Amino acid sequence: MKHRVLIVEDNAANRELLSDWLEAEGYDVLTAADLKTAFSAVENQHPHAVLLDVQLGADDGLQLAHWMRRQARFQHLPVIAVTAHAMVAEESRILQAGCNGYVPKPIDFRQLRESLERCVAASGMASSPD
Ligand code: MN
């Protein structure tokens, strides 16, 4: 069975780029363009990992990570933040939100591959109820 990765990204071109790449890497892909859709995808579509754009239009994408870390069932679901701001302040904000790591934009796909493999291996398939 393939691992499912949820892409939360408001920019359609970035969403498509990530989606194509993840599919080529052998993942099943779920997408959400806004926070509301992302909350519902996490609850109902059982992703094994979440790729989270920090700047989600007018919203702070990290709200999703904060929320997940407060739910027992999503507490250990891996979240990798994607950020355009590779600053120390942004990094600590990302880690404080409970993300497992982050990759800066423009995305280094080799780094993303390593982060994803590490996260998915650590979480195993335990997060999937089906
Ligand atoms: Mn964005």
Which residue has 């779920």 as its token pair?
30
Q: Which domain holds residue 108?
A: 4-123
32 in any annotated domain: yes
The count of structural domains within the chain is 1
The predicted structure's pLDDT at residue 12: 98
Kind plus residue range of the DSSP H or E element containing 20: helix 12-24
| Ligand 1 centroid – CA 69 distance (Å) | 21
The predicted structure's pLDDT at residue 67: 98
Integer Cα distance of 128 and 84 in angstroms: 30
The predicted structure's pLDDT at residue 129: 46
CATH of the domain at 87: 3.40.50.2300
| Ligand 1 centroid – CA 15 distance (Å) | 10
| Ligand 1 centroid – CA 129 distance (Å) | 30
Which residue has 């939100």 as its token pair?
97
The predicted structure's pLDDT at residue 128: 46
* Residues 22 and 49: beta-carbon distance below 8 Å: no
Each residue's pLDDT expressed in tens, for the chain with a length of 130 residues: 899 999 999 999 999 999 999 999 999 999 999 999 999 999 999 999 999 999 999 999 999 999 999 999 999 999 999 998 778 889 999 999 999 999 999 999 999 999 999 988 877 654 444 4
26 in any annotated domain: yes
71 in any annotated domain: yes
129 in any annotated domain: no
* Residues 80 and 116: beta-carbon distance below 8 Å: yes
Whether the ω angle into residue 129 lies within 30 degrees of 0, i.e. cis, is no
